[in-house]
Amino acid sequence: MSDAKNAEWWKTGVIYQIYPRSFMDSDGDGIGDLAGIESRLDHLVRLGIDAIWISPFYPSPMVDFGYDVSDYTDVDPLFGTMADFERLLAAVHARGLKLLLDFVPCHSSDRHPWFLESRSSRDNPKRDWYVWRDPLPGGGPPTNWIAEFGGSTWEWDEGTGQYYLHSFLPEQPTINWRNPQARAAMLDAMRFWFDRGVDGFRVDAVDHAAPNPERGDNPVNAAWEGPEGHTMSLLAAHSRHQPEVFDVVRDMRALARTYPEEKLLVGEAYGEIREFIEYYGAELDGFQLPFNFLLINAEWNPVIVAGLVDAYEAALPEGAWPNWVLGNHDRARIATRAGPGQAAVAATLLLTLRGTPTIYQGDELGMENVEIPADRVVDPWEINMPGQGLGRDPERAPLAWDAGAGGGFTTGEPWLPMDTRPGLNVAAQEGDPASMLNLHRRLLRLRRAEPALMQGDYRTLSVDDAVFCYERVRNGRRIGVALNFSDRARPMDLGGETLFSTTGDDARTGDLAPNEGRVVRLA
């Protein structure tokens, strides 16, 4: 049995998200793959992270780029083979890192064998593995629910004369977790990867796991001021965050606890603080880390950011461990949202707040959203709802490793356009002490060296319209952090010895420079 400290490695660890299509291509088809990830692991070791989370690489028609799974226990040939996965897992563990996979529990592909059986007839044994309903008495969908990607959540099936539910695309039918056989099959899929040595899962869109059509229409969102037909135009009162979701989460956690070193579960559930906090579980028997997306959606303003940090800290259940994230494959990059001048301040915030941080690939280089020409758009969200700024292609553009053809990412044509500006690649930043890459490395070394930054308590010290200051404390050791959100020099109110500055001068004293983040040892 592993000791408790090792079993809770995630409390001091840093997670790095890999979007496999865009990380590294090993075979020249323009799409990243598992062998490509393995070939670049040393970059992550030098960066100083502790765990890798890889977005889906399972067999899929790729209608939603892997989030429409047709087989939960294999590897899509686009990304390699099961042998490639085994080699990657061994290489990750050989470097002392952990490996998390993405688990997509709420829907499969419409080409999954389960769904093909389910839709074959009303009396098929797997019919109830998905959510089917009759039309309303006068015809039409059973409820007014709107799918995340637009349109009704209900798709008519002519062959069996019923509608099936999908929360995203029609090609992603909703799995019925209320059916015991379906639930067991999904847990078996998780067990398949756990048994092979995977250290945990990031669980996708789990708030959609137990929609309840019996409760009827979702109410209108009176506060919504956006376009009609958007999913936010209705309040998801009956389609998300249902009480039965927490039974699903507890079952997942119970499975994770059956292993000598308990597996980590990170849950994706967007919502208000009160909503996603519930995913810890009433007895902390839910996810160890329900993703906290407060800063990924926030206006980049010190007063707002400080307020969200305080509100989150106050809401955490006793004994729950916090986490922070500034970017992922579904949201605009932080260097675009906050501005490239603030990217270093954002990195300092992410890596010095209390809790487990997750870094999205490329953020360590200061990557920004890449402009995607209309004829290169592939994201179904943008295709289905054009002109609303919902497309996710800009933040999914491939990472550049060098200044050569294909950015060192591929010898072929990359699946999405790349940002090839000088300096925005790994090779260029390796030798530049002032680069974002080396800034991240310095921050991560400092974090590892200072227990107060990894596990210390948190307290806001001061905040105004430009500067946010807070402290971390452990065993009497006090670390202060000052973040200048403005492009003007500002007074530095924290004394003490400077340990880190985003300016590159780690002995810097005096006023905060424009866009500076500074970490100091307080008396």
Annotated catalytic residue within 102, 204, 278, 450 = 204
Query: What is the Cα–Cα distance from 108 to 501, expressed in whole angstroms?
Result: 46
> What CA–CA distances, in Å, run from 391 to 207, 299, 328, 330, 394?
21, 19, 13, 8, 7
> What CA–CA distances, in Å, run from 371 to 250, 416, 420, 421?
41, 10, 12, 13
Residue with tokens 């869109």: 205
Q: Tell me the residue length of the chain.
A: 523
The dihedral through the CA atoms of 414, 417, 418, 420 has a sign that is positive
Quick one: tokens of 330?
A: 């579904």
CATH number of 4-108+179-442: 3.20.20.80
Residue with tokens 């992550």: 44
Q: How many CB atoms lie within 10 A of CB 82?
A: 12
State the first-to-last Cα distance of the chain, in angstroms, to the nearest integer.
41
Greatest CA span in the chain, whole angstroms? 75
Please tell me the predicted confidence (pLDDT) of residue 388: 79
Query: What is the Cα–Cα distance from 326 to 354, expressed in whole angstroms?
Result: 14
10-residue stretch averages of pLDDT, the chain, 523 residues long: 64 98 98 98 98 98 98 98 98 98 98 98 98 97 96 98 98 98 98 98 98 97 90 96 97 98 97 96 98 96 98 98 97 97 98 98 98 94 85 97 96 96 96 96 98 97 98 97 98 93 94 98 92
Quick one: tokens of 65?
A: 């780029």
Query: What is the Cα–Cα distance from 337 to 485, expressed in whole angstroms?
Result: 13
Query: What is the Cα–Cα distance from 333 to 484, expressed in whole angstroms?
Result: 20
Whether the Cβ atoms of residue 519 and residue 500 lie closer than 8 Å to each other: yes
- Per CATH, 4-108+179-442 and 456-522 having the same topology is answered no
Q: 247 catalytic, yes or no?
A: no
What is the amino acid identity at position 165? L
* Nearest in space to 118 (alpha carbons), one of 174, 183, 178: 174
Q: Where are the domains of the chain?
A: 4-108+179-442, 113-165, 456-522
Whether the Cβ atoms of residue 284 and residue 325 lie closer than 8 Å to each other: no
CATH number of 456-522: 2.60.40.1180
Please tell me the predicted confidence (pLDDT) of residue 4: 46
Task: Give the global pTM.
Answer: 0.97
**HSE-up of 284 (CA within 13 Å, CB side)?**
9
Please tell me the predicted confidence (pLDDT) of residue 364: 98
Query: What is the Cα–Cα distance from 518 to 523, expressed in whole angstroms?
Result: 16
457-463 and 51-54 beta bridge pairing? unpaired
Whether the Cβ atoms of residue 131 and residue 176 lie closer than 8 Å to each other: yes
* Nearest in space to 19 (alpha carbons), one of 323, 325, 330: 330
* Residues forming beta bridges with residue 355, ordered by sequence position: none
pLDDT tens profile 227-248: 888 899 999 999 999 999 999 9
CATH 3.40.50.10310 fits 113-165, yes or no: no
Please tell me the predicted confidence (pLDDT) of residue 229: 87
Q: 364 catalytic, yes or no?
A: no
Annotated catalytic residue within 171, 199, 268, 368 = 268
